[in-house]
């Protein structure tokens, strides 16, 4: 069969990985795809010292690939919004298929991009946009296609997981570990996207859309980072049988969809609690299959290339097919409009609270009364020995309740004269079907 000709736009870490793996494994890939996949053009202004591009046409101008009639598939690996958006929309308009690893682009402009692609009859594939080399989009869109998905919960930001793992393993502070992560190249100079959960929110928006058949709703993701997590919380959680992980969670409820990124206590015996360092893992629970988990490298040149090239092979197979026979961009031929995203106040979960009490008789009773007044059952309450001066840490684990009730409780707790400073609140998930 005729080779598929691709243009790699952007030859940074991921672009370089795609270029090298396509060359190194060319014969293996051709044997699998049933036809060769050939790099016809590379668009980049800066050479990648890891790539020998001497035998391929390299152009400095990324938009050049649109004019090249030989190109079947544009591989967008330049990242960011503006130029990437322009490139993708122009590729679609000129009838070229698109493969991208750009989670921000898909999460924010995906609805528009897929609309244009549908009109033009071209494929836009984005496996590499979530969890790097793990074939999580394929697994949800195709592998679990028989299921009504109940929930998805994942460690989908390697930087955040590296930081939490190191804090746990070495008992170090957030700031200290962040500096180490930056030195190792696991965190950017400006780590906001990773540690504040924005990157995870991009990915979660994509996972939620393909799991539940709803439009992409990045602007509705509740997003909380890991910067406030203290080593003390990791220690207390551990003593209670939990690990703290930064999770993206989306769940179908009778009232609507939960869509949230935040630090989470999960039972240590769950596989997800044992996913450490920069690794990613996503749990998906379906009504037929039950809980499943997918684990692997969430970033890096070649793991991400693995996902980009899997998309290229899919495009090679599907480009000749009727558009109606292809896997729908967001998993469903039509999106549902009866599943609104729930405001954070309406989600239901369990909670870990850590507060510092003035060591006066009756403080524990006053704390417990406030929770009871709001109908919240306490699973565990632990009053620790005095650490310094008269302040006593109190640790609480609650049963499932509504976030709005917990907000009220925290407001009342913080207004108690017995309580010094703010209340640390971390949500708790059992990761079991309820």
- In the complex, the residues that contact a copy of itself under the rule CB under 8 A are 1, 17, 21-22, 24-25, 28-29, 31-34, 127, 133-135, 138-139, 141-148, 213, 269, 271, 274-275, 281, 286-297, 302-303, 305-310, 313-314, 317-318, 320-322, 324-328, 331-334
**DSSP code per residue over 5-39:** EEEEE--SHHHHHHHHHHHHTHHHHHHHHSS-EEE
* Residue 95, annotated as binding a ligand: no
* Residue 130, annotated as binding a ligand: no
- Least distance in Å: CB of 35 to a copy of itself? 8
Q: Active-site residues: which are they?
A: 203
Largest CA distance in the chain: 82
* Residue 298, annotated as binding a ligand: no
- Least distance in Å: CB of 124 to a copy of itself? 17
List phi, psi (to 5°) of 204. Answer: -65, -40
- Least distance in Å: CB of 374 to a copy of itself? 37
User: SS3 for 383?
Assistant: strand
Task: Give the dihedral sign, CA 76/81/85/87.
Answer: negative
Give the span between the Cα atoms of 347 and 250, in whole angstroms: 11
* Residue 103, annotated as binding a ligand: yes
Q: What is the DSSP letter of 143?
A: I
In the complex with a copy of itself, the residue whose CB is nearer, 239 or 289, is 289
- Least distance in Å: CB of 71 to a copy of itself? 20
In the complex with a copy of itself, the residue whose CB is nearer, 32 or 90, is 32
Of 334, 309, 324, 301, give the one whose Cα is nearest residue 127. Answer: 309
In the complex with a copy of itself, the residue whose CB is nearer, 52 or 269, is 269
* Residue 362, annotated as binding a ligand: no
In the complex with a copy of itself, the residue whose CB is nearer, 52 or 287, is 287
* Residue 16, annotated as binding a ligand: yes
User: SS3 for 84?
Assistant: helix
Distances 68 to 32, 41, 140 between C-alpha atoms, Å: 27, 9, 34
- Least distance in Å: CB of 365 to a copy of itself? 39
- Least distance in Å: CB of 331 to a copy of itself? 6
Residue 61: is it exposed, middle or buried by C-beta count within 10 angstroms (0-12/13-18/19+)?
exposed
Tokens at 243, concatenated: 């690990």
H-helix or E-strand spanning residue 162: helix 158-170
In the complex with a copy of itself, the residue whose CB is nearer, 328 or 393, is 328
Asked if 335 and 325 count as a contact pair (C-beta separation under 8 A), the reply is no
In the complex with a copy of itself, the residue whose CB is nearer, 130 or 367, is 130
- Least distance in Å: CB of 29 to a copy of itself? 6
Tokens at 253, concatenated: 């409820």
Give the span between the Cα atoms of 15 and 184, in whole angstroms: 21
Of 143, 64, 141, 136, give the one whose Cα is nearest residue 103. Answer: 136
Give the span between the Cα atoms of 190 and 250, in whole angstroms: 27
List phi, psi (to 5°) of 183. Answer: -60, -40
Name every residue whose Cβ is closer than 8 Å to that of residue 92 and which is 6 or more positions away in sequence.
Answer: 98, 113, 116, 117, 120, 122, 124
In the complex with a copy of itself, the residue whose CB is nearer, 32 or 220, is 32
Distances 358 to 129, 177, 201, 391, 418 between C-alpha atoms, Å: 48, 31, 38, 5, 5
Bind-site residues: 9-16, 103, 188
Q: Residues comprising the binding site for L-homoserine?
A: 188
Residues in binding site for NADP(+): 9-16
Q: Which residues are annotated as a binding site for NADPH?
A: 103
């Amino acid at each position: 069969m005729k080779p598929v000709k691709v243009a790699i736009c952007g030859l940074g870490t991921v672009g370089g990985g795609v270029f090298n793996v396509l060359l190194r494994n060319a014969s293996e890939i051709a044997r699998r795809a049933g036809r060769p996949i050939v790099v016809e053009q590379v668009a980049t202004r800066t050479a990648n010292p890891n790539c020998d591009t001497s035998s391929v046409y390299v152009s400095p101008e990324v938009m050049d690939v649109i004019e090249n009639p030989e190109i079947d598939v544009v591989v967008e690996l330049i990242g960011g919004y503006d130029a990437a958006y322009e490139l993708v929309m122009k590729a679609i308009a000129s009838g070229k298929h698109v493969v991208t690893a750009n989670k921000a682009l898909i999460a924010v402009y995906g609805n528009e991009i897929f609309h244009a692609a549908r009109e033009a009859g071209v494929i836009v594939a984005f496996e590499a946009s979530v969890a790097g080399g793990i074939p999580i989009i394929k697994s949800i869109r195709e592998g679990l296609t028989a299921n009504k998905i109940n929930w998805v919960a994942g460690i989908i930001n390697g930087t955040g997981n590296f930081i939490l793992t190191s804090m746990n393993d070495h008992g170090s502070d957030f700031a200290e570990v962040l500096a180490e992560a930056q030195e190792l190249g696991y965190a950017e100079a400006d780590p906001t996207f990773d540690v504040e959960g924005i990157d995870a929110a991009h990915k979660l928006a994509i996972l939620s859309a393909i799991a539940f058949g709803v439009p992409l709703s990045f602007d509705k993701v509740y997003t909380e980072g890991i910067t406030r997590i203290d080593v003390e919380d990791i220690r207390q959680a551990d003593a209670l049988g939990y690990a703290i992980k930064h999770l993206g969670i989306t769940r179908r409820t009778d009232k609507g969809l939960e869509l949230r990124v935040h630090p989470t206590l999960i039972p240590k015996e769950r596989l997800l609690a044992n996913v450490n360092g920069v690794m990613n893992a996503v749990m998906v629970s379906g009504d037929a299959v039950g809980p499943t988990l997918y684990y692997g490298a969430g970033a890096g040149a070649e793991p991400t290339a693995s996902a980009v090239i899997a998309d290229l092979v899919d495009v090679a197979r599907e480009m000749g097919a009727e558009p109606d026979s292809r896997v729908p961009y967001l998993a469903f031929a039509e999106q549902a409009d009866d599943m609104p995203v729930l405001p954070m106040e309406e989600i239901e979960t369990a909670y870990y609270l850590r507060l510092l009490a003035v060591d006066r008789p009756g403080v524990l009773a006053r704390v417990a009364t406030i929770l009871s007044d709001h109908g919240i059952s306490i699973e565990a309450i632990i009053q620790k020995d005095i650490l310094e001066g008269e302040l006593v840490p109190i640790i609480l684990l609650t049963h499932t309740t509504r976030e709005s009730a917990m907000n009220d409780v925290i407001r009342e707790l913080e207004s108690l004269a017995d309580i010094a400073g703010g209340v640390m609140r971390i949500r708790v998930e059992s990761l079991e079907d309820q």
